[in-house]
Amino acid sequence: MKLKEIYDLVVKMGIEHDPRGLEVVQKQLAREKKKIEDLKEEERKEVDPDRYFNPYSDTRVLYGDLDREIKRILVGIDMEIGEVVLADRLGEKGQPIDLIMAHHPEGKATAGLYDVMHLQEDLLHQLGVPINVAEGIMASRIGEVRRGLMPVNHNRAVDAARLLDIPFMCCHTPADNMVTEYVQRKIDEGNCETLGDVVKVLKAIPEYAEAVKTGAGPTIVVGSKERRAGKVFVDMTGGTSGSQDAYAKLAMAGVGTLVVMHISENHRKEAEKQHVNVIIAGHMASDSLGMNLILDEIAKQGVEILTCSGLIRIPR
């Protein structure tokens, strides 16, 4: 496959499996196009042209000619300078790497991570939270994340890839969309009555079963296995953790249990205060599942996949 074909496939799969639905994503892209076209010519030069077709600012080709032929990819959760050097060493040992693919964003995709958090507003709205309330409670958190990213030296790994002339891309929200849809469907099909039932469904998924072996499997952090789950919401996409104020709104909207990749202690305490059960599915296992669903489609085209940096590769 050419690098552009891989990039286009990643974006396409992200859109097709976006939990907001195709219509919402298309409206977002239309608004973005109009916003760009309304800019003055000088301002338009500063706009990333990918925004016309890619609604996920945390997913980008960071280095490399889009027409470059890709036969072997080195994929991992966090692909930083060490992994870039690893890719170069593999080439020296007879396994040339044509593309480095990270899950977590690097380079300009890191700088744009905050922008995909607006996705969470639409998810809250779908659950019954008024859109004005959803946007209001997310605004300060999005601003906080944006400011927090400003001092980050986010281009280090991209610079290393450029010096070694190895194409580099990242695939964040599209993979998170994939795992969100997949896990929500499995839990819904499982007709889970208790938190223990939810954990059982999760552990039946191979990536989570592997994570159990390393002590990073599904864990109940608010509630107990005997508690009734109620309405289960899988919250695994939208850039990074949202606002603590969301838990009260989720409880009012009827959500009984959240299934998440990870949760901060402050967020956990707020969920407990609002009597919302929380199950941590596992960060690396969840990221691996989302990436695997995308990598399977790439592998079907004859591209060889090598994995590292915490990615549990289980083809389907």
Per-residue pLDDT of the chain in tens (316 residues, 90 and over written 9): 999 999 999 999 999 999 999 999 999 999 999 999 999 988 988 999 999 999 999 999 999 999 999 999 999 999 999 999 999 999 999 999 999 999 999 999 999 999 999 999 999 999 999 999 999 999 999 999 999 999 999 999 999 999 999 999 999 999 999 999 999 999 999 999 999 999 999 999 999 999 999 999 999 999 999 999 999 999 999 999 999 999 999 999 999 999 999 999 999 999 999 999 999 999 999 999 999 999 999 999 999 999 999 999 999 9
Domain boundaries, the chain: 3-176+287-308, 178-282
What's the burial of 175, exposed, middle or buried (CB within 10 Å: 0-12/13-18/19+)?
buried
Q: Give the integer Cα–Cα distance in Å for 99 and 87.
A: 9
Q: Give the integer Cα–Cα distance in Å for 109 and 7.
A: 14
CATH class of 178-282: alpha beta
Which of 297, 114, 303, 302 shows the shortest CA–CA distance to 315? 297
CATH class of 3-176+287-308: alpha beta
Which of 282, 269, 234 shows the shortest CA–CA distance to 255? 234
Instruction: Specify the amino acid at residue 302.
Output: G
Domains 3-176+287-308 and 178-282 share a fold: yes
